[in-house]
Amino acid sequence: MADPDALRSRFARALDGARAPGSGPDPAPYADNLIARWQEPQRRYHTLAHLTAVLDHVDVLEEYADDADVVRLAAWFHDAVYLPDRSENEERSARLAERALPEAGVPAGKTAEVARLVRLTVTHSPAGDDRDGQVLCDADLAILASPPSAYAAYTAAVRQEYHFVPDDAFREGRAAILRQLLELPRLFHTSHGRREWEATARCNLTGELEMLSPEGEPAP
């Protein structure tokens, strides 16, 4: 279970890593605002547990990043604005970062990088030389390589977030997303992600797609 006190400390460390330590205002109000956002009632998957998991995976992948603390701040903001029935969540989350981080003492260049990384989570397609983008995207998608029970809980939570979508429409839309993911040349961009997560994630995605597909229609 996500620990808000531990998350506050993690936010403060990331913020101080992106600015001169002690050079800005108290991190606590910014952390509290973000934690409150991640606890909004419409969320079932995009919760504090997801935030914690992404931060944990950034820690695992830290060596691949150019600026791990900037990536951590991007993780904090990447779904800070989240309404399941809206399509501009990433853009609104990026704009939130652009407003909050300068006030919190983060330099303009690093603020811009956080916002860029947040926007990158629309496509999860970082460039080959975008080390920070590769780390954030891999950390965000690492859930796809979960063990079976955790993957089942993830898919159930996603369905709950989209409870307002009729079953047939949800199956069709979800299947389209799964096919798009499976058609990518690779899901993960860091060498750790490719080595540790790629095969399991593809197995999970294929199994979910087969369950969603009409009986007898194999997944690609």
Burial of 167 (0-12, 13-18, 19+ CB in 10 A): exposed
Residue 122 makes CB contacts below 8 A (sequence gap 6+) with: 90
Q: At what angle do helices 198-212 and 167-183 cross, to 10 degrees?
A: 150
Task: For the chain, give every domain's residue range.
Answer: 4-143, 147-212
Does 203 have pLDDT greater than 80?
Answer: yes
Q: Which two tokens stand for residue 210?
A: 């087969």
pLDDT at 20: 83
Q: According to the model, what pLDDT value does residue 215 have?
A: 58
Kindly indicate the confidence band of residue 216, based on its pLDDT and cuts at 50, 70 and 90.
very low
**Per-residue pLDDT for 217 more than 70?**
no
Q: Write down the mean pLDDT value for the chain.
A: 95
Class of domain 4-143: mainly alpha
- Residue 2 has a pLDDT of 76
pLDDT at residue number 95: 98
pLDDT above 60: residue 219:
no
Specify the pLDDT at position 166: 97
Burial string for 16-55 (b: 16+ CB within 10 Å, else e) reads bebbeeeebeebeebbeebbebbeeeebbbbbbebbbbbb
Task: Give the pLDDT confidence score for residue 1 in this predicted structure.
Answer: 62
Q: How large is the average pLDDT for residues 96-124?
A: 97
The number of C-alpha atoms within 13 Å of 97 and in the hemisphere containing its C-beta is 33
State yes or no: pLDDT of 189 exceeds 90: yes
Give helix 48-60 / helix 4-18 axis angle, nearest 10°: 50
SS3 137: helix
Instruction: For Cα atoms 179, 181, 185, give the angle at the middle one, nearest 5 degrees.
Output: 115
Contacts of 96 (CB under 8 A, 6+ apart): 77, 80, 81
| % of the chain surpassing 70 pLDDT | 96
